A and B are shown apart, each in its own frame.
Chain A
Amino acid sequence: MESLNVDGDRRDLPSSSAASAEQAIHDEPAHDELADLPPDAIGALALLGLGLLLESSTWVARQANPPSRTGDVAAYDGRSDVPQEHVTRRALVGLIVETRARARSRREAARQARRDFLRRLSEAAAPVTNWLPVEVTLTAAEILADYGQKTVTKTVARLAQHGRIEEEEARALAQQAILGWMDEAITYATRNPAVRDLVAQHGEELAASALDDLRTRSESMDTWLAQATRKVLKRSIPAHAPAAGEKTLGTAPIAASGSGA
């Protein structure tokens, strides 16, 4: 940029530097330009000339003996005299080869991805697998499974030999039949009004008994709480809790007010 400025627009340069450059040009003495060329440039010119010479000799030789076009790459173009089916076949073969190459590269990429995944998985699971004795556990499980299988096989064989299996099957069938009869009996009993009354009466008695027990316990708790409170407060314990209406009984007794006692 600075040289452009020097050559084209001198106003960009400071006045002192422009003057010194102009002075240097005028002070430079005249000399031979070929003598100032570097040796590399001379070598390059020599090589260029040699190349031109070789090209020209090759062109002359081709003009003298033109090459056969059947084995050349140019034979695949539309101007070739090779049969069209050969061209198509070669194109198809090329396509097949290219497809195979692409498939091979994809398979290779998939293998690489799988190897990377397994490597990362093993790296991630390394702490767990190092901590757990996985192989020992698997071996123990296999041993236990083998032992269990052998034991079951031996037991089944022994039972079959002694006729136990048939016995168990007969017992299961009998149990099933008894359960069926029991269901029928229960269904019949629930349809019977006498049985239903009996069950209802028994349920009522059971509920009444539970309520009676609850009331008895709560009354005992009442007495215990009252006595404990009076002990804490050091008050005298009455012989019994006074009945309602005991002080003002003249108006109406409890029974007349509709108590269910």
Chain B
Amino acid sequence: MDMVSRMDTTDTVNRGIIAPAHMHAGFASRTLAFMLDLLVVAVMLLVAVLSLQLIGAFFPIGTLFAHLFGIDLAGQLRSLIALAVTIVVFVAYNTFWWTMIGETPGKAALGLRVVRTSGERLTVPRSIVRALAYWLSALPLFLGFVWILVDDQRQGWHDKLADTCVIYAWQAHPATRTTHTDEQAAQAS
């Protein structure tokens, strides 16, 4: 155990609380964190869409194309632009937070952290791969997310693809942990 871990343990013992031992986070916590992140991303998307509409109103390129060439450029590209903006905002949001501090605001609220299976922090390419792999997990009726429930490492498909995992990064009170451990022991017996 290195210096940081020893300090954490000493501090934890002195404060009368114990850590959840960096166990892999489960489906409920990750779903709640994901929903919180989606709320933040939705606000960002709203701002982005409003900004794009403002820019489009100021530079009416679609109207110009429709007048000159008879092509409804804005109508044809609207859905494509919306999808592209959604993907870009979502990937940028997750990549920024995972790379900088290892946890998005939603995951921080639930006390979760995204790390590599080796325990290292994610790099930018790995973060991008993991964020894009969300769609891969969602495509077969969210089976890639449900996989967290049955996997021993509690990894979804996007975790396996990016070689990452989500762990608890918070400290619980002894009473709660004891009760939880007792329940687990009872279930195991």
Contacts and interface: CB of A to CB of B under 8 A. Distances in A.
B76 interface: no
Given A211-B109, A215-B170, A254-B167, A223 B180 contact: yes
Contact of B119 (A225, A240, A251): A251
A243 B23 contact: yes
A247 B184 CA distance: 22
Given A243-B167, A259-B113, A261-B22, A237 B150 contact: no
Interface string B14-53: 0000011111111111001000000000000000000000
B26 A225 contact: yes
A218 B119 contact: no
A53 interface: no
Interface string B151-167: 01110000000000101
A55 to B, nearest CB: 97
A223 B183 contact: yes
B4 interface: yes
B117 A245 contact: yes
Contacts of A80: none
Chain A, interface residues (CB within 8 Å), range: 35 or more
A243 B28 contact: no
Nearest to B7: A255
A54 interface: no
Q: Looking at A212, A219, A239, which has the most chain B CB atoms within 10 Å of its CB?
A: A219
Given A212-B172, A219-B180, A230-B150, A245 B118 contact: yes
A257 B102 contact: yes
Contact of B24 (A216, A233, A242, A256): A242
Contacts of A166: none
A248 B118 contact: yes
Given A242-B23, A257-B121, 12 more contacts: A211-B111, A226-B27, A235-B150, A239-B184, A242-B24, A249-B118, A253-B2, A255-B2, A257-B102, A257-B120, A261-B12, A261-B170
Q: What 8 A-B pairs come out closest when comparing CB atoms?
A: A222-B26, A245-B119, A221-B28, A255-B5, A251-B118, A218-B29, A229-B149, A255-B4
